[in-house]
């Protein structure tokens, strides 16, 4: 259970640009209240002067906490969970990829917020030596900067290896889903997360040409690696560790990694000052002009929308304006338009996000729900559903109520709330599995099997449904893994609708279309889900069955 005080506590340390926000938002979205604790960042002066790593203005109910996550967590927080198993996890990234991604992210974010940008050359000159190693030693190990300044690189490397060997999971940022899938059964969350804070997401909002690692000059790559020898050693030693950290044999320390006097170390503070000036102070000096220009742009954007309200590019410009300024535009109903007229899911979600930021929650929800059903494949439906549902407050309220009832074993109440949530987003396989669990616990084995199979068809991992599907099928005297539609080898990532297993909704719709409005009972639905490998097979089967019934009816008529 999520709130069991004897259950393990997961400490997930967030290194910048290693899918940290994807994990944090996924867990906060799907876990119940009080389960995820993300300590706040301390004030800058407290971090610099006092060495404070995190801010503890108010502690949560610690007996309910299952996950401590974020950039601002240290190992001293473990003392708040005496007697409980601590499972530590961190994702790493190669130095070149991390610095390129970090540079692109900072400049796209600054551009979206109306702040200044700077060159990649300046970024390299202001680069913290061994950034990942520094963050692990300073933030997680909580070693004071005065000790770090005089600590030999060899000793730092030894401390880092000792620290990581005690972690439950260490892997590359590309194994974000592997980590989430390992947490999912224990925390009751979906095993797949919608990607957050990605370059693709930011590029839809700002006009920015990102730097690519493959296009860096040899000199630029060399400059990064020269200033990141410990980071590179950690990456090569630990990126493949996974859950077997005790078996890792780190690279032998190379004396060339020792930090000697260099021009970079002397000049770095000056370049940090220049970077911060371009990023923050220069835009503030022109703030009055910026505000006047902002109001002028708002009027111009509304006038352009009034002339062409269905232009996706204009709506993306408005979204960028809202993100940069934090202002709300007054968007009249005539510009909102009709939900039924849109067939582009990206346009639907863009319009919904604009409306959310402008206080128009009612229309925004309608566009979010419309976007979730416009996918052309199972994979697209999965991604659209996760993205839209995460921004729908009504859906989130229903899920919180359902999760709370589930944790208290109030299966009927949880079933009702999950059903209402799935009515809003019928493609959300994660909560379809939770809904099926509630049905199973009440002995509704036919309905539970229907929804386990439907969740699998929508993309739920086979490992998440196998045990439960075989259980409810066995209770009905049926061996689930023997049928052709069991879904053991099925993946939703590359299949079109007709080539994937059918869901309950597919059967209902197909039966309704081919039988002129006749209803179908649960046992018939389940039989089709068990025997038909794809939606295409299911539709052919229903058509042949109807043709056979018509022939029989004609033959039975008297001459």
- The CATH number given to whatever domain includes residue 439 is 1.25.40.10
* Gap between the Cα atoms of 467 and 398, Å rounded: 27
Q: Same domain for 212 and 302?
A: no
Residue 379 belongs to some domain of the structure:
no
Is 0.75 surpassed by the pTM of this model?
no
Residue 381 belongs to some domain of the structure:
no
DSSP string, 416-470: HHHHHHHHH-TT-HHHHHHHHHHHHHTT-HHHHHHHHHHHHHHT--HHHHHHHHH
Domain that holds residue 439: 393-554
What six digits make up the tokens of 241?
């560790």
Q: Same domain for 70 and 200?
A: yes
Q: Same domain for 506 and 445?
A: yes
pLDDT of residue 463: 79
* Gap between the Cα atoms of 339 and 334, Å rounded: 12
**Among 98, 85, 232, 248, which residue's Cα sits nearest to residue 164?**
248
Residue 375 · residue 459 · CB < 8 Å:
no
Name the β-bridge partners of 88.
Answer: 11
Q: How many CB atoms lie within 10 A of CB 559?
A: 2
Residue pLDDT, tens place only, 491-505: 555 456 777 788 898
C-alpha distances in angstroms, 509 versus 155, 163, 446, 454?
66, 55, 19, 14
Q: Same domain for 88 and 165?
A: yes
Q: Same domain for 232 and 300?
A: no
Which residues 6+ apart lie within 8 Å of 279 measured at CB?
A: 106, 110, 115, 116, 117, 118
Residue 210 belongs to some domain of the structure:
yes
In the chain, count of helices (H) and strands (E)?
27, 5
DSSP string, 374-428: --SBHHHHHHHHHHHHTT-HHHHHHHHHHHHHHHTT-HHHHHHHHHHHHHH-TT-
Q: Which helix (H) or strand (E) holds 12?
A: strand 9-13
Place of tokens 């739920």: 460
Which residues 6+ apart lie within 8 Å of 513 measured at CB?
A: none
Residue 378 belongs to some domain of the structure:
no
Q: Same domain for 77 and 24?
A: yes
Residue pLDDT, tens place only, 402-440: 999 999 999 999 999 999 999 999 989 999 999 999 999
* Gap between the Cα atoms of 442 and 416, Å rounded: 13
Q: What is the CATH number of the domain that holds 81?
A: 3.40.50
How high does pLDDT run on average in the chain? Answer: 84
Q: Same domain for 281 and 297?
A: no
Residue 387 belongs to some domain of the structure:
no
Q: Same domain for 145 and 173?
A: yes
Residue 315 belongs to some domain of the structure:
yes
Domain total in the chain: 3
Q: Same domain for 247 and 136?
A: yes
Question: Residue 143, class by beta-carbon neighbours within 10 Å (0-12 exposed, 13-18 middle, 19+ buried)?
Answer: middle
Residue pLDDT, tens place only, 357-414: 888 888 889 889 998 888 877 888 888 898 899 888 899 889 999 999 999 999 999 9
Query: Which of 261, 285, 309 finishes a domain?
Result: 285
Place of tokens 């204009």: 314
Pairing of strands 67-70, 36-37: parallel
* Gap between the Cα atoms of 383 and 375, Å rounded: 9
pLDDT in tens, the chain (559 residues): 344 567 899 999 999 999 988 999 888 878 877 899 988 877 766 666 666 777 777 678 888 899 999 988 999 999 999 999 999 999 999 999 999 999 998 888 887 777 788 888 898 888 888 999 999 999 999 998 888 888 899 999 999 999 999 999 999 999 999 999 999 889 888 888 878 778 877 776 677 888 898 888 898 899 899 889 999 999 999 999 999 999 999 999 998 888 755 666 777 888 888 888 887 777 666 655 555 566 666 777 788 888 888 888 888 878 877 776 667 788 888 888 777 777 788 888 888 888 888 888 888 898 899 988 888 778 888 888 988 998 888 998 899 999 999 999 999 999 999 999 999 999 899 999 999 999 999 999 999 999 999 998 888 888 788 889 999 999 998 887 655 555 555 555 545 677 778 889 888 888 888 776 677 888 989 988 888 888 888 888 888 877 655 545 434 445 4
What six digits make up the tokens of 303?
């006038």
Name the β-bridge partners of 55.
Answer: 40
Query: Which of 229, 258, 285 finishes a domain?
Result: 285
């Amino acid at each position: 259970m999520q709130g069991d005080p004897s259950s393990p506590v997961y400490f997930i340390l967030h290194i910048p640009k290693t899918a940290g926000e994807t994990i944090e938002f996924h867990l906060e979205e799907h876990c119940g209240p009080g389960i995820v604790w993300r300590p706040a960042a301390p004030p800058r002066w407290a971090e610099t002067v006092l060495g404070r790593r995190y801010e503890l203005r108010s502690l949560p109910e610690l007996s309910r906490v299952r996950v401590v996550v974020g950039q601002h967590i240290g190992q001293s927080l473990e003392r708040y969970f005496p007697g409980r198993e601590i499972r530590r996890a961190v994702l790493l990234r190669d130095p070149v990829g991390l610095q390129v991604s970090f540079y692109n992210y900072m400049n796209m974010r600054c551009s979206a917020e109306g702040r200044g940008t700077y060159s990649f050359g300046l970024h390299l000159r202001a680069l913290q030596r061994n950034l990942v190693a520094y963050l692990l030693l300073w933030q997680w190990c909580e070693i004071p900067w005065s000790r770090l300044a005089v600590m030999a690189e060899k000793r730092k490397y030894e401390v880092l290896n000792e620290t990581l060997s005690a972690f439950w999971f260490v892997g590359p940022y590309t194994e974000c889903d592997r980590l989430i899938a390992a947490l999912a059964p224990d925390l009751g969350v979906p095993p797949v997360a919608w990607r957050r804070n990605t370059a693709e997401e930011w590029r839809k909002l700002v006009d920015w040409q990102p730097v690519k690692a493959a296009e860096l000059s040899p000199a630029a790559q060399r400059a990064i690696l020269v200033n990141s020898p410990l980071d590179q050693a950690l990456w090569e030693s630990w990126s493949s560790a996974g859950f077997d950290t005790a078996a890792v044999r780190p690279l032998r320390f190379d004396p060339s990694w020792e930090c000697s006097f260099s021009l970079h170390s002397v000049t770095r503070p000056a370049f940090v000052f220049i970077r911060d000036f371009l990023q923050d102070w220069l835009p503030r000096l022109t703030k009055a002009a910026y505000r006047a220009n902002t109001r002028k742009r708002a009027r111009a954007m509304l006038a352009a929308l009034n002339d062409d309200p269905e232009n996706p590019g204009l709506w993306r410009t408005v979204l960028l304006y809202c993100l940069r300024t934090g202002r709300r535009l007054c968007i009249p109903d005539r510009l909102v338009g009709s939900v039924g007229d849109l067939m582009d899911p990206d346009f639907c979600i863009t319009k919904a996000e604009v409306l959310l930021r402008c206080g128009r929650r009612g229309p925004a929800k309608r566009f979010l729900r419309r976007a979730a059903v416009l996918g052309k494949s199972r994979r697209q439906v999965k991604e659209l559903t996760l993205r839209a549902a995460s921004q729908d407050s009504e859906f989130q309220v229903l899920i919180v109520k359902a999760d709370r009832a589930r944790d208290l074993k109030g299966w009927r109440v949880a079933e009702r709330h999950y059903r209402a949530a799935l009515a809003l987003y019928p493609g959300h396989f994660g909560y379809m599995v939770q809904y099926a669990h509630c049905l199973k616990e009440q002995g509704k084995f036919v309905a539970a099997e229907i929804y386990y199979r439907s969740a699998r068809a929508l993309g739920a991992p086979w490992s998440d449904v196998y045990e439960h599907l075989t259980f409810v099928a066995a209770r009905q005297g049926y061996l689930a893994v023997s049928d052709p539609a069991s879904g053991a080898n099925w993946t939703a990532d590359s299949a079109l609708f007709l080539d994937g297993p059918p869901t309950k909704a597919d059967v209902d719709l197909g039966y309704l279309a081919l039988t002129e409005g006749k209803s179908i009972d649960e046992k018939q639905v389940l039989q089709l889900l068990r025997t038909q490998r794809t939606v295409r097979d299911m539709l052919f089967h229903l058509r042949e069955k109807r043709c056979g019934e018509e022939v029989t009816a004609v033959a039975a008529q008297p001459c």
